[in-house]
Structure 1
Amino acid sequence: MLTATSPLEASVGQRDPLMPTGFDCGAGLTKLCLSSNGKQILLRQPSKVLELKSPLLAELNSPEGGHFYYHSGDRSDLINRQFLTGELVTWKAPITHIKLSDDPALKAEYALHMVLGALASLPHRQQWKLFLVISTHSRKLFNDRLKQLLTGNHIVSFGGQNKPESKVTISLEAVVPEGA
């Protein structure tokens, strides 16, 4: 039996409790399931990413995709860059985007992008503390890479560079086989 434990209980006695979160970066759809205020929230978005090289002329919103600007954090390669995910990618660049189904390694490389894009579709919070469990069909192949690319603190703005900042802290608890 596989048991995941946390040094801190997920909700008792904390001002900003850890949010248990399940994540599956699939070839067609990315799924993120999190618990907030006693409710389960399921987010689905097409597994697509696009880096924006210039500002958007109009704000794009969709429950199946997001827009984020990465200010600072543990992913120094993303600082001062902005991305669209999911359905917003298809609207902005129907042909020139990255589809994660094109190469299994892309699911690991863009996992953080997909998590942040999903969070962008939710109401703004100053802080997110995700206790993340990832499901993948290539667990042995991508376990270390996923931990390296996701774990840590990420300061982002959802909806564009000039929007309020959010601190997203990700604790990657486990990478489990798909369907576990």
Structure 2
Amino acid sequence: MLPYAIDLGNGYTKTSYGNKPRLMPSYVSQVVNESDICDDFGPGGGAFLLYLSGDRHDLIGTKWLLGEAAKISFPATYQRVVEASAGKIEYALQFALSDVLCCHKYQNVTIPALYASLPDPLTDGEKFKKAVLGRHEIQLAHVNSPPDARFHYFVTIENCKILHEGQGAFINAIATGIIPGGVAAGIIDCGSGTTIAQCFSANGHLIPSSRTVSPVGVHHLLKMIATDPRLKERIGGEGNLHLIQQAIEDSSFSYGASNVDIEQIFREHRKVWAQSALRKALEKFSSMKDEIDSILLVGGGAHIVKAICQKSSIILSPNPQTANVMGMARLAELKIARSAA
């Protein structure tokens, strides 16, 4: 019985059994005909899930592709989790169950404590719990596995705790000594499609008035650079977002094998991007400077934001993309230990 946490993000869904975090692109598609599943599912991989029976009666008999496989097999109809109005609730169980294959060799799996985070736990927490709790009979396979390679599971999720987004990252930062305990701190979650800033009190509770959300994430900055005419002229087309992000994060500003220098392009576009993505957050934190001692950067774009924000009070979290889910996994582990005592 391992603690389990899940963080459904704009770009990636992060899961953690114990202290082993994993990432899967937050793409999902319901499957009508299995013959439509593409043989080439890309480097991101994915999972195939068949819901046979269980407490989610609305899912009985349905088939799902999750991760990169959904985007490649169904490019016109796949969805990002956040594109559905209640996607983080609607697809939570599918993503939670898809990770069982990586961690369990046994047919009967019990998850005594599932921790997750939502923007508004008070409003949506009970809906999330209703969507995931209970007993679920499934067939599960890595995509492209033949039917005889599918694994049959009975998964029981006994309890679920919903935190505010970013709360897990705050807890993880204290547990790992990144920030001292007993003090308030600000967190900027630099996601793919959004930038979320908020403050947590010394006892780990969200300060609601501190929360700001910008619908601009690191993906937008990378896209601005990728479509810059100067880069397109040098490489003969639009730039690869992964290679651009890599060049920024390692501070080389050298694009791919062609070694095109993108530093000047980055510095020009980051000014415009920072105004839309970071201005509200930094203004809010400036008004609370007497209340918070430090600002923690988390999320997949944290390295890029740190390259822009050089102040010593702005701290880059180690493994920033999985910091939130790792903090929640710590809480799940603590809950199980207390129950066993």
- Taking the TM superposition and a 5 Å limit, the aligned residue runs for 1:86-101 are 86-101=67-82
Separation (CA, whole Å) in 1 of partners of 2:42 and 2:153: 17
Q: TM-score, normalised by structure 2?
A: 0.43
Shift of 1:148: 0.5
Shift of 1:141: 2.1
- Is contact 1:70–1:82 with CA below 8 Å preserved after alignment? yes
Separation (CA, whole Å) in 2 of partners of 1:176 and 1:117: 22
Change (3 A) 1:174 1:98: same
User: Which is richer in helix?
Assistant: 2
Partner of 1:157: 139
- Taking the TM superposition and a 5 Å limit, the aligned residue runs for 1:96-175 are 96-122=77-103, 124-130=105-111, 131-159=113-141, 163-175=150-162
Q: Quick one: which amino acid aligns to residue 154 of structure 2?
A: K
User: Which is richer in strand?
Assistant: 1
SS at match of 1:112: helix
Q: Quick one: which amino acid aligns to residue 47 of structure 1?
A: S
Q: 4+ residue stretches of structure 1 with deviation over 6 A?
A: 59-63
Calculate percent identity across the aligned residue pairs. 26
- Is contact 2:133–2:160 with CA below 8 Å preserved after alignment? no
Shift of 1:90: 1.5
Shift of 1:62: 7.0
Q: Quick one: which amino acid aligns to residue 29 of structure 1?
A: Y
Separation (CA, whole Å) in 2 of partners of 1:69 and 1:62: 22
1:31 aligns with 2:14: yes
Shift of 1:59: 9.6
Change (3 A) 1:90 1:63: closer
Change (3 A) 1:89 1:108: same
Shift of 1:117: 2.2
Partner of 2:179: none
Separation (CA, whole Å) in 1 of partners of 2:40 and 2:55: 27
Separation (CA, whole Å) in 2 of partners of 1:72 and 1:87: 26
Separation (CA, whole Å) in 1 of partners of 2:139 and 2:43: 16
Structure 1 unaligned spans of 5+: 1-17
Separation (CA, whole Å) in 2 of partners of 1:96 and 1:78: 19
Shift of 1:104: 4.6
Q: Quick one: which amino acid aligns to residue 95 of structure 1?
A: A
- Is contact 2:41–2:68 with CA below 8 Å preserved after alignment? no
- Work out the number of aligned pairs and report it: 159
Larger Rg: 2
Q: Quick one: which amino acid aligns to residue 27 of structure 2?
A: K
Shift of 1:101: 2.1
Shift of 1:86: 1.0
Separation (CA, whole Å) in 1 of partners of 2:133 and 2:117: 15
Shift of 1:123: 5.8
Separation (CA, whole Å) in 2 of partners of 1:119 and 1:28: 21
Match among 41, 46, 54 for residue 73 of structure 1: 54
Separation (CA, whole Å) in 2 of partners of 1:80 and 1:174: 28
Question: What is the Cα-based RMSD across aligned positions, in Å?
Answer: 2.4
Change (3 A) 1:49 1:124: farther
Q: Quick one: which amino acid aligns to residue 158 of structure 2?
A: S
Separation (CA, whole Å) in 2 of partners of 1:60 and 1:126: 27
Separation (CA, whole Å) in 2 of partners of 1:120 and 1:94: 25
Q: TM-score, normalised by structure 1?
A: 0.78
1:44 aligns with 2:26: no
Change (3 A) 1:53 1:136: same
Change (3 A) 1:68 1:60: farther
